[in-house]
Amino acid sequence: MTLEYPPYEFTEEGRVKGLAVEIIRAAFRQMGHDLTIEVYPWARSIDMFKNGQVDGIFTFFRTPEREEYTFFSKEAVIVQPITLWVLKDATIEYNGDLAKLSPYTFGVVSRTSYGEVFDTAVKNGILKTDDANSIEACIEKLVGTRFDIWISNHHGGVYSLKKAGKLGLVKELSPPVQEVPAYVGFSKKRNLAALRDAFDNVLAQMKKSGKHAKIIKDTMDGLK
């Protein structure tokens, strides 16, 4: 099970595709298993997985509550770098210290987590935010100078900016705010610890051989 979360997993012309999808498909092919991936609303996907109706779920963030019903892969399927974007001619500099960006306003999608580091800075009143209802709205606000900095996961940012035709108008600041790992969850109700272990072994081999990185590059290059 998965959700609509481009470019990691999404449906296009009736086919489920994306960075995480292609990595997982390749791993299961190497394991010699057939794989069916279905996309549902996220809450429904989690409920079906929790109840043992399906074998696995992705991309799944590790939490103590989820550990109770999930055998998490030890290997992250993908690590999501959370990065900052500004207009191309902006003079804003970032050295990894978010507190130094306190004079600026950050564009965010409402009710979205950007990792513990950024979320905590906002909660503690160190950073100011301007909410939007979607990534697309955030991009429009950024190029329209409605706020100073847009925060997004790197791959999602690149994908959405390309799709909007605005990638050439902005630049990405470095380093990432945080790198958040995402995993495959395997069902405890279906006793799939052994399948999880086999998946981890194959995924580790894919990373060591460079196949994992190549899938990410090829998939991103192929996205419109």
Tokens of 145: 């100078």
Report the C-alpha gap between 23 and 67 in whole angstroms: 23
Residue 64 lies in a domain: yes
The count of structural domains within the chain is 2
Report the C-alpha gap between 102 and 91 in whole angstroms: 15
Q: What is the pLDDT of residue 135?
A: 87
Q: Is the pLDDT of residue 112 over 80?
A: no
In the chain, the amino acid numbered 128 is K
Residue 146 lies in a domain: yes
Q: What tens digit of pLDDT does each residue of 194-216 get?
A: 999 999 999 999 999 999 999 99
User: What H or E segment, with its residue span, contains residue 150?
Assistant: strand 149-153
Q: What is the pLDDT of residue 55?
A: 97
125 & 59 share domain = no
Report the C-alpha gap between 23 and 18 in whole angstroms: 9
Q: What is the mean pLDDT of the chain?
A: 94
Tokens of 85: 């974007």
Tokens of 199: 């998946």
Residue 1 lies in a domain: no
Per the listing, tokens 């800075």 go with: 121
Q: What is the pLDDT of residue 224?
A: 61
Residue (of 14, 24, 50, 82) closest to 216 by Cα position: 24
Q: What tens digit of pLDDT does each residue of 56-73 get?
A: 999 888 888 899 999 999
27 & 110 share domain = no
pTM of the model: 0.77
Domain of residue 35: give its range. 10-78+180-222
CA triple 201-206-207, angle to 5 deg: 100
Q: Is the pLDDT of residue 49 over 70?
A: yes
144 & 133 share domain = yes
Ordered DSSP codes for 69-84: TEEE-SS-SEEEEEEE
